[in-house]
A = this chain, B = another copy of it.
């Protein structure tokens, strides 16, 4: 089984990169919004995770820009419970035994025993703001300044969560096989190169 994990700065295009790599390689695709949504529901119904994964119903869970921004809110009292549930979801994804790309939620740490190919995606702040502005719907009013604060806040939280889970820093080059800066790329082109690289990497005997 081949697992590619993608960790990323908010707005860097990591999710689009992951989706495209999954499409190119024919891998299943999971991202942090899917995992969070499943984990939240699983708090209500213990069989939910299993049902959802078995039926691949998670493909239908709506993902919105608002939802992504909103995910910044979960690091409160119920944060630990949600982290545990997310971890369980990620472990169940791996247990399916199918090649997949998992974006976010520290899948690289949680699934380290599977020897995943780990990618970190970053970009310059200006590029991240531009990407977020493009993704935002016209009826979502958000200023660049507010967005910059939001980006930094979400990344700070991601860093904190990683430290809680692994004791490691976040985005540190030694923790990933590859770190890509999307600032000067088109994600579509980058995805081809990275998919090829990952494919080559899985062929190496270890």
Question: Is the interface on chain A under 10, 10 to 19, 20 to 34, or 35 or more residues?
Answer: 20 to 34
Per-position contact with B for A173-206: 1 when CB-CB < 8 Å, else 0? Answer: 1101111110111100100111011001101101
- With a cutoff of 8 Å between Cβ atoms, the chain B residues found around residue A120 in the complex are 173
Give CA–CA (A184, B200) in the complex, Å.
12
Residue of B nearest to A194 (CB): B197
Q: Is A122 an interface residue (CB 8 A)?
A: yes
- With a cutoff of 8 Å between Cβ atoms, the chain B residues found around residue A174 in the complex are 122-124, 181, 183
- With a cutoff of 8 Å between Cβ atoms, the chain B residues found around residue A197 in the complex are 193-194, 197
- With a cutoff of 8 Å between Cβ atoms, the chain B residues found around residue A122 in the complex are 173-174
Give CA–CA (A30, B103) in the complex, Å.
38
Given contacts A173-B122, A178-B178, A193 and B200 within 8 Å (CB-CB) = yes
Give CA–CA (A183, B118) in the complex, Å.
12
Listed in ascending order, the chain A residues whose CB lies under 8 Å from chain B are 120, 122-124, 171, 173-174, 176-181, 183-186, 189, 192-194, 196-197, 200-201, 203-204, 206
